[in-house]
Structure 1
Amino acid sequence: MEQLLRGKYAISVATYENHGGRDSAKILNRLLSHSGAIISGTIISRKKSESSSKENYQLSKNIHKLADKLYEDIKGKRKYIFQPIKHFIIFKIGIKPFVIKNADQYGGVINHWKSKI
């Protein structure tokens, strides 16, 4: 609610066994987005009871690639085009009106917002 990840770079990692990996990743990305994070990427990995060395190598390769991307995003202060627009819409249309409407329950959040002004 407080946008504590606003302006912070993040990656999401979802693992699964049978199904639901993409759904889990969507939920994690939505949570990160609603918290204001700049999402550099996502890893979705199916973990079987017995995984081959080829699968482990591919996963390791993907992890290193995404870690490098996250590092470059942070180092270069990369701004994604659509994420700030999405954050603005989520905050102004969704989160802020909800918090203000329920001010008695979210007094701490409102005080935190006021202290930032």
Structure 2
Amino acid sequence: MNVLLINGSPRKNGATAKILAEIEHRLTEHIQANCELVNISELDLEFCRGCSGCYRTGACFIPDNAENLSGKIARADIVVFGSPTYVSGISGQMKTFVDRGHFVIEQLLTDTYTLSVVTYENADGSSAAGILEKLCIFSGAVHCGNITARVSPGQNPLAVRRIEKKVAAAVKRLSRAALRRKKRNLVQAIIHSAVFNIGIKPFILKKPDAYTGVLEHWKKRGIGGVSV
């Protein structure tokens, strides 16, 4: 299985990165995995300019690393998102990529197994985890849970037994879901169906010329029974 772990922290060796590395290690004990960990902070990644050109052409015109990372996500069987919480949400690095990543409209995570990791010191860890969970479910994933870890600056989160146990349980749950090709649970299925079939699909089909790239993507991946 292809596993992609995305570190949305500006720190390559911080608490978020340490948990992602532990997830990578534990996953290889459960499944045969080809793992890659990507640090968003190392990428050339500009802000979204809101031109909507990617919806029409299928790709962003900005010549940076966003399209390459989106392609890796599309080819992955498992994607793990990691982000620290600094002020009431996911990191700026992660948000920049989310804006560029073709996630919800193109249903980038269709049938992908996902897990989210959020580190925080004081508050709002659950809020940031909710943002990533919503992103995954709205984008078609089978979301296998969230790991929230409250840590102090400079603290190794894996030295905290409670956090270590969370990581072990989450990896076991994720690997089992992927190996058994588990479907979305009922709540996720209802939420995704409402988002896609009531919100996204009718909207796109009303403006096919403006969303040619999206429709081509759906067709290639067999999404929504759409033909163009």
TM-score under structure 1 normalisation?
A: 0.84
The residue type paired with residue 25 of structure 1 is: A
Q: 1:22 to 1:103 in 2, by over 3 A?
A: same
| 1:10/1:54 CA distance change after superposition, 3 Å | closer
* Selected match of 1:49 from 135, 139, 153: 153
Runs (5+) with no aligned partner, structure 1 = none
1:16 aligns with 2:120: yes
1:4 to partner: Cα distance? 1.6
CA gap 1:52/1:4 in 2 versus in 1, 3 angstroms = closer
Closer, same or farther in 2 for the Cα pair 1:91/1:54, shift >3 Å?
closer
Q: CA deviation at 1:15?
A: 1.3
Q: 2:191 is matched with which residue? A: 86
Shift in Å, 1:103: 3.6
Q: From the superposition, tell whether residues 76 and 101 of structure 1 become closer, same or farther in structure 2 (CA, over 3 Å).
A: same
Q: Which has the higher contact order (CA 8 A, sep 6+)?
A: 1
Q: Distance in 1 between matches of 2:166 and 2:157?
A: 14
Percent identity between the two aligned chains: 37
**TM-superposed deviation, 1:83:** 1.6
- The answer (yes or no) to whether the contact 2:112–2:142 under 8 Å persists in 1 is yes
Alignment length (residue pairs): 117
List alignment gaps of at least 5 residues for structure 2. Answer: 1-104
Matching residue of 1:100? 205
Q: Distance in 2 between matches of 1:82 and 1:54?
A: 31
Which residue in the other structure is 1:60 paired with?
164
Change (3 A) 1:87 1:49: same
Distance 1:53 1:24 in 2: 18
Aligned AA (1:95): I
* Letter in structure 1 aligned against 2:163: L
Matching of residue 4 in structure 1 with residue 105 in structure 2: no
Q: Tell me how far apart the structure 1 counterparts of residues 109 and 156 of structure 2 sit (CA, whole Å).
A: 36
Amino acid at match of 1:13: V
Whole-angstrom CA distance in 2 between matches of 1:21 and 1:35:
21
